[in-house]
Amino acid sequence: MAQNFEVALSKIIDNFELEIIFQPNDKNEVMISNNDINRCGLQLSGFYEYFDPNRIQIAGKMEHAYLETISAQQRQENFDKLFSKGIPAFVVTRNLEIFPEMLEAAKNYEIPLLRSAESTSTFMSKLINFLSLELAPRITRHGVLIEVYGEGMLILGESGVGKSETAIELVKRGHRLVADDAVEIRKASNITLVGSSPDNIRHFLELRGIGIVNARHLFGIGSVKISEKIDIVVELEAWNPEKVYDRMGMDNHYVTILGVKVPSLTIPVKPGRNLAVILEVAAMNNRQKKMGYNAASELMQKLGLNMEANDIVTEWE
């Protein structure tokens, strides 16, 4: 069963610097669970077919112009009908005037009334993107997320295989840490996964023999990021001499996370291998593949061999 997520209205207010015209109770207690929003022009004119009362309602210049053409009594009836639906919040854009009838209805039905200085289209676009990310399906996995040459690399593997040590070496080489130990993965869209760290462990790494270190304090603010798109998944595993590892890279390996297909690699670990350099090359090679270049395919063509690449997809639960 899919889990439903919520975001506090206070976070929306703070993020978009909204002016609070009326707030009936603690803004931290009002929770938004729908990432769709509604421009309420049709409802203010009396049309409620397919209306979803769980959406934040937006009123802009067009709605304001219409409301000016009707009487105060009609405005009061229209606002009463809309606010009686129990909407989570009502936002007026462009710093437009707040009608007295609007404020009265908000107080009568205890609906948060807010105002934004931004244009309606800009505010709606930003709010939809914000809600889509905050309310996105998500999972948390043990691993490390780091940005390497602009590629978001999710490093997985058994405990003690060297994920954090590799991450600290990559940070020292100028790349940026996003999360260590616990990576929160959100499905931002049907083709995009975004990873971040839980707030309470952000920027911290655990290094066996040393303990807990703070990457931001050790290497500076330029060594960390809050979130990053996941472009490639790398599985580190102890070298198994009986296992045959991919030496050509002709086949394209993918792992499916939350329904999104992401390129993946399995890197064997043994003493003497410089994992930081290997992962840097993996990031650059993944970037080249996205741009349409495959070194293995070019080599096969130069050798006169006609080999087709196969896609190998693994489901990740």
pLDDT digits (tens, 9 = 90+) for 209-246: 888 999 999 999 999 999 999 999 999 998 888 877 77
Mean pLDDT of all residues in 140-159: 93
Catalytic choice (39, 64, 115, 163) = 163
Mean pLDDT of all residues in 26-43: 90
Distances (CA, A) of 57 to 6, 91, 218, 307: 17, 6, 45, 56
Mean pLDDT of all residues in 47-61: 94
Mean pLDDT of all residues in 253-268: 91
Mean pLDDT of all residues in 74-84: 95
Residue 307 has pLDDT above 60, yes or no: yes
pLDDT tens, residue by residue, 92-126: 999 999 999 999 999 999 999 999 999 999 999 99
pLDDT score, position 1: 40
CA distance 22 to 33: 21
Mean pLDDT of all residues in 285-303: 84
Catalytic choice (199, 243, 247, 311) = 247
**Which tokens is 314 given?**
């693994």
pLDDT score, position 209: 85
Catalytic choice (14, 26, 36, 142) = 142
Q: Determine whether 181 is an active site residue.
A: yes
Q: Is the alpha carbon torsion for 48, 52, 58, 60 positive or negative? A: negative
Architecture of domain 138-315: 3-Layer(aba) Sandwich (3.40)
Eight-class DSSP state of 99: -
Catalytic choice (81, 126, 181, 202) = 181
User: How many residues comprise the chain?
Assistant: 317
Mean pLDDT value across the chain? 90
pLDDT score, position 153: 96
Domain ranges of the chain: 7-134, 138-315
Residue 247 has pLDDT above 80, yes or no: no
pLDDT score, position 303: 82
Architecture of domain 7-134: 3-Layer(aba) Sandwich (3.40)
Q: Determine whether 247 is an active site residue.
A: yes
Q: What's the whole-model pTM score?
A: 0.78
